[in-house]
Structure formats: structure tokens, C-alpha cells
């Protein structure tokens, strides 16, 4: 059994990690931390796990040695504590944003401050297995991708691999869990329920990750909609050659036919013709679909995930499986619910 600890485990990504790893046949969750809830049962923060685990939160200072440490601390905190984490565990998987970029200037541009640990830049493997399977197998430091970035990258990557994308406008629609578990005026139910809020029309930090992963001329906007979990990236890709449906199918099949967690969703009829994140809650799938615009050199790519799963905890467990030579789907078999 691989002994794992979860630092910063009272939030939503931490709760998902705990859910997944508690049921994982090869993992033994030995510790979970929360400064605020130290001493309390984990189900105090994660009521779905009542009866599933008897773990109690402890403080970061009480972390014991283990095999893998997952950090779900807020942005900035992982960088501050990374040396402590490495003393505790030979392998660290960070779900925060601190080590996703390898370029210090790009970090400063998008995060508005110098990187706190530039010496570690480039040491972390970006955690999307579909991109970095080989490197993850050898990695001791992993930085999981941002949820919106994950959706956009997996949706668009086949076009970039093929060299057909000229420029792209990515418009993501996201649920409220993306903003974490702290109540704010903007998350107050009467204000947030039913809202369609353009919370980041420009300047979203995940754009830096997307450009780093794909390169090229990419534009990004994000709209919060009525949903708790889920991201749908609608990617308007302008392509440099004429691509018919068959060609697109070939491009996407080549990229994803062997991937256990990427499904191509594109039906001729029915109400589930394209990816829909509402069907993915709790699952680790990224569903990808596409539609070419017959009247323009535009291909609309749809990419859906559960932001807390493939966009965070599920991605981390998938990376954990790869790092340990386990079957990649282990502990990630839940397929999602319908109706949802």
C-alpha cells in the first residue's frame, strides 16, 4: 500500500482526493490536514464521506512521513512549503497553480508577482497524463493543470499536433465550485443562482498554461453559469486548411483512440450529441467533440470535464497511478450519473 497524505484537505479538491484515495485499492490515506478543522472528523468538511472514513484533520505541522504528499493548499502556499513537503515525502503532487508554468516571466505576467521559487521552475511535470505520460512515470514532482486549461488543452491538442490551428477563441463556461469553498458575496446563493457572469472576459491565468502547452494565437474568456461542477470549453479554432468531417475524425481518433479518459462525443442525432459536463460529475472523463463550420474555416471544438475530477483530484490520481506503474484507471472507474 502506498501511504499518502493530503495537505490542505478541507476544500473541494481535497475532499475529492480523499473520496478517491479512500476507495483506491493501492492507496492508504494516512493523514489529511486542515488548520481550521484540526481534530475534527473529515466528514465534517466532506459530508458525503460520513461512514467511509474515520480520519480526523490534523495541522500541517503534524505531517508525518509518507510516500506521496498531495497538496491542495491555496495558490502561493505550496511554494512556501515545498521544502517541508519534500522532507516529508519523496513524491509531491501539487494541485495548486504555483508550479504549473516553467517560465518565470510568464508567471509574473499572469500572477502579478515574481515567482517565489524560481529555482524549482521546470522541475515539476505538468500533470496531464495525456500530454506527459512518459515524464510522469519518472516524476517526483507533479503540478496538476488548471481545470479550464485541462479542458481547453485536451480539446485543442489534436489540432495543434496536426499543425492545422491558426488561431483560437476559447470560451469556457464554469460552475461555482471552481472558486473554492469559501463563501463570498459573489457566491451567495441568491446572487449566484441562475447567474450568467462574465467573471473573466480577459486576462484569465489559465491562458498562460494553455499557451505553454499548445503555443500559438489563443484567446480566452470565462463565464460562470448555473452549475456546481463542470467546465465546458467551446473552442472556436480557425484552421489553415480545409478539413472535412472525416479528416477531423481521423485527427481526433489518432490522438485519443487509446486514451482511457478521453471520449470522442459526436453523434448525428439525439440530445447527447456533444460533450456535456453535467454528465461527468464525479467521473474522470474528458469528453471531446467537434463540428466544422461549412461556411468558414472554423472548427468548433467542445471539451467537457468535471473541474474537481479531471480538472483537479481525478487528474492527480491518474498521475499518481502513472507514477506508480498502476493501471491508469485504478480508483477512477466511476462513470458519472444520468440523469444528473
17-56 residues in contact with its own copies (CB under 8 A) are 19, 23, 44, 46-52
| Binder among 117, 123, 133, 192 for its own copies (CB under 8 A) | 192
Q: How far is CA 154 from CA 60, 130, 239, 277, 301, in A?
A: 34, 8, 17, 14, 10
Choice between 102 and 223, CB closer to its own copies: 223
Cβ at position 156, least distance to its own copies in Å: 15
| Binder among 104, 135, 169, 212 for its own copies (CB under 8 A) | 169
Cβ atoms of residues 79 and 99 within 8 Å: yes
Choice between 122 and 180, CB closer to its own copies: 180
Q: How far is CA 322 from CA 91, 135, 136, 172, in A?
A: 13, 9, 6, 28
Q: Per CB under 8 A, which region of 2-10, 80-88, 116-124, 189-197 contacts its own copies?
A: 189-197
Q: Which string of x and - marks every residue 89-128 that binds its own copies (by CB under 8 A)?
A: ----------------------------------------
Cβ atoms of residues 126 and 133 within 8 Å: no
For residue 44, count CB atoms less than 10 angstroms from its CB and return exposed for 0-12, middle for 13-18, buried for 19 or more.
middle
Distance of CA 230 to the CA centre of its chain: 11
Q: Per CB under 8 A, which region of 112-120, 125-133, 182-190, 320-328 contacts its own copies?
A: 182-190
| Binder among 63, 232, 305, 319 for its own copies (CB under 8 A) | 232
CA 268 – CA 278 distance, rounded (Å): 20
Cβ at position 117, least distance to its own copies in Å: 25
Choice between 91 and 205, CB closer to its own copies: 205
Ramachandran bin of 174, using left for φ above 0, alpha for ψ from -120 to 50, beta for the remaining angles: beta
Cβ at position 206, least distance to its own copies in Å: 14
Cβ at position 123, least distance to its own copies in Å: 27
CA 198 – CA 227 distance, rounded (Å): 14
Choice between 125 and 305, CB closer to its own copies: 305
258 binds its own copies (CB under 8 A): no
Cβ at position 226, least distance to its own copies in Å: 4
Cβ at position 220, least distance to its own copies in Å: 9
147 is catalytic: yes
Cβ atoms of residues 4 and 64 within 8 Å: no
236 binds its own copies (CB under 8 A): yes
* DSSP secondary structure string for all residues of 239-299: ESS---HHHHHHHHHHHHTT-SSEEE---SSSS--S--GGG-TT---EEEEEEEETTTTEE
Cβ partners under 8 Å of residue 299, min gap 6: 159, 237, 239, 243, 248, 290, 291, 292, 293
Question: Which of the following is catalytic: 72, 147, 235, 286?
Answer: 147
Choice between 113 and 189, CB closer to its own copies: 189
Q: Residue 187's CB: how many other CB atoms inside 10 A? A: 15
338 binds its own copies (CB under 8 A): yes
Cβ partners under 8 Å of residue 184, min gap 6: none
Cβ at position 62, least distance to its own copies in Å: 23
Q: Which string of x and - marks every residue 301-320 that binds its own copies (by CB under 8 A)?
A: -x-x----------------
Choice between 61 and 113, CB closer to its own copies: 113
Which residues are tagged catalytic? 147
Amino acid at each position: 500500500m502506498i501511504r499518502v497524505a493530503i495537505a490542505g484537505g478541507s476544500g473541494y479538491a481535497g475532499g475529492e482526493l480523499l473520496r478517491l484515495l479512500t476507495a483506491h485499492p493501492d492507496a492508504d490515506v494516512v493523514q489529511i490536514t486542515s488548520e481550521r478543522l484540526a481534530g475534527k472528523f473529515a466528514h465534517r468538511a466532506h459530508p458525503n464521506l460520513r461512514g467511509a472514513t474515520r480520519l480526523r484533520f490534523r495541522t500541517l505541522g503534524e505531517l508525518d512521513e509518507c510516500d506521496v504528499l498531495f497538496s491542495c493548499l491555496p495558490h502561493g502556499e505550496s511554494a512556501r512549503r515545498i521544502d517541508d513537503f519534500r522532507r516529508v515525502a519523496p513524491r509531491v503532487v501539487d494541485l495548486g497553480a504555483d508550479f504549473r508554468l516553467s517560465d518565470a516571466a510568464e508567471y509574473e505576467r499572469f500572477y502579478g508577482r515574481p515567482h517565489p521559487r524560481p529555482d524549482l521552475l521546470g522541475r515539476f511535470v505538468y500533470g496531464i497524463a495525456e500530454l506527459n505520460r512518459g515524464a510522469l512515470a519518472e516524476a517526483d514532482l507533479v503540478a496538476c493543470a488548471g481545470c479550464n486549461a485541462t479542458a481547453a488543452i485536451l480539446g485543442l491538442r489534436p489540432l495543434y499536433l496536426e499543425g492545422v490551428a491558426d488561431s483560437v477563441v476559447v470560451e469556457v463556461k464554469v460552475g461555482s465550485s471552481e472558486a473554492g469553498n469559501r463563501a463570498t458575496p459573489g457566491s451567495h446563493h441568491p446572487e449566484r443562482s441562475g447567474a450568467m457572469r462574465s467573471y473573466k472576459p480577459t486576462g484569465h491565468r489559465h491562458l498562460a498554461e494553455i499557451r505553454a502547452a499548445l503555443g500559438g494565437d489563443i484567446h480566452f474568456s470565462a463565464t460562470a453559469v448555473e452549475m456546481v461542477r463542470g467546465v465546458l470549453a467551446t473552442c472556436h479554432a480557425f484552421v489553415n486548411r480545409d478539413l472535412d468531417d472525416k479528416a477531423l475524425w481521423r485527427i481526433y481518433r489518432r490522438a485519443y483512440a487509446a486514451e482511457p479518459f478521453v471520449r470522442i462525443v459526436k453523434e448525428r442525432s439525439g440530445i447527447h450529441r456533444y460533450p456535456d459536463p453535467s454528465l461527468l460529475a464525479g467521473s474522470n472523463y474528458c469528453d471531446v467533440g467537434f463540428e466544422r463550420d461549412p461556411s468558414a474555416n472554423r472548427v468548433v471544438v467542445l471539451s467537457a470535464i468535471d473541474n474537481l475530477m479531471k480538472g483537479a483530484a481525478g487528474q492527480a490520481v491518474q498521475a499518481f497511478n502513472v507514477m506508480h506503474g498502476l493501471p491508469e484507471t485504478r480508483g477512477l472507474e466511476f462513470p458519472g450519473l444520468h440523469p444528473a
